[in-house]
Amino acid sequence: MPLTLPEIRDNCAKARLRMQQARDEHWAFGAFNLDDQATLKAVCRAAQKMNAPVLVEVSQGEVDDIGLWNVRDLVDNYKQEYGIEIYINLDHSPSVEAAKDGIEAGFEFIHIDVSQANHDATDEEIVAATREVVAYAQLTGALVESEPHYFGGSSNVHTETIDYDVVKQTFSTPDGARAFVEATGIDTFAAAIGNLHGKYPVPKVLDLELLKQIRGAINCNISLHGGSGTPGHYFRDAVAIGVTKVNINSDMRFAYRTTLEKILKEHPDEYATAKLISKDVVDAVQAVVESKLVDLNSAGKAVVN
């Protein structure tokens, strides 16, 4: 059953308060991609076991596959079943219209990212689109996230190494972050400090000194995209500095696929693959989520109404 507007506003108000508490108390939300019902179950089980608040998120591909309203209903059903604190983030929404749809569907977090769909989008176009979403989000109080430029990589398992000379060209700057936040009024700034979408054969290296400078330059929330393949000590330090949201996707997908391939080989005569996924794959993905919740210092921080 769809949420009423007052219920959506209550959820968004709580999410906004909890983000501030995360910053004050030095923990962060893990934002975990929802590829299917199995990954949602894995996140919910981890949240319940660790008593941790979580976000699940969908990008346009998952929206096209599952549907915004179906995602809302699934999450609400599992929220009640598991008795957990959970919110939904619309990740890398490619257009103002798509972001507005997420707001109307009751998502508590909205990431508008027109540069993802159009790498050649101008600064003016990015700012204008972000401002329009920020204004529309007043309908529900949803928290709006954005960044001033295209963020590299892809949510996949990469075989190439990371060319940091290239990556550094897109690093955030304190002055740039301040100017973008002031121009748009966003709630959350997606910082680029060495984080990169996807899982690579080498560990990622985050510029924590730059993060400290960005934290000192802006007064809104800070998120880190591309959290997969990042040594946990970086997350622990980033949370201490003031990051309150970290996106994880490829690590989960890697665990999902490699586990599924393994059990399919072990059970060549089993065609009810849902049984294998429920038994083994969910456990493997859940273990990934649990490890991130520990690194983000969010275990034991859930507030369940």
Length of the chain in terms of residues written: 305
Helix (H, G, I), strand (E, B) or coil at 45: helix
Question: Would you state the torsion angle of the CA atoms of residues 177, 53, 111, 77, taken in this order, to the nearest 10 degrees?
Answer: -170
Enter the pTM of the model. Answer: 0.94
Residue 203 has pLDDT above 90, yes or no: no
One-letter amino acid at 114 equals V
pLDDT of residue 305: 74
pLDDT of residue 101: 98
Average pLDDT (166-190) is 92
What are the b/e assignments for 28-43, b being 16+ CB within 10 Å?
bbbbbbbbeebbbbbb
pLDDT of residue 81: 97
Confidence of residue 149 (pLDDT cuts 50, 70, 90): confident
Structure tokens at 3: 């949420």
pLDDT of residue 170: 81
Burial class (CB in 10 A: 0-12, 13-18, 19+), 178: middle
pLDDT tens profile 17-43: 999 999 999 999 999 999 999 999 999
Residue 200 has pLDDT above 80, yes or no: no
Average confidence score pLDDT of the chain: 93
List residues bridging with 54 in a β-sheet.
Answer: 30, 86
CA angle 140, 145, 148 (to 5 degrees): 140
Q: Which fold has domain 5-295?
A: TIM Barrel (3.20.20)
pLDDT of residue 245: 98
Average pLDDT (205-219) is 96
Which one of the listed residues 76, 91, 251, 295 is annotated catalytic? 91
91 is catalytic: yes
Do residues 40 and 18 lie in contact, with contact meaning Cβ atoms separated by under 8 Å? no
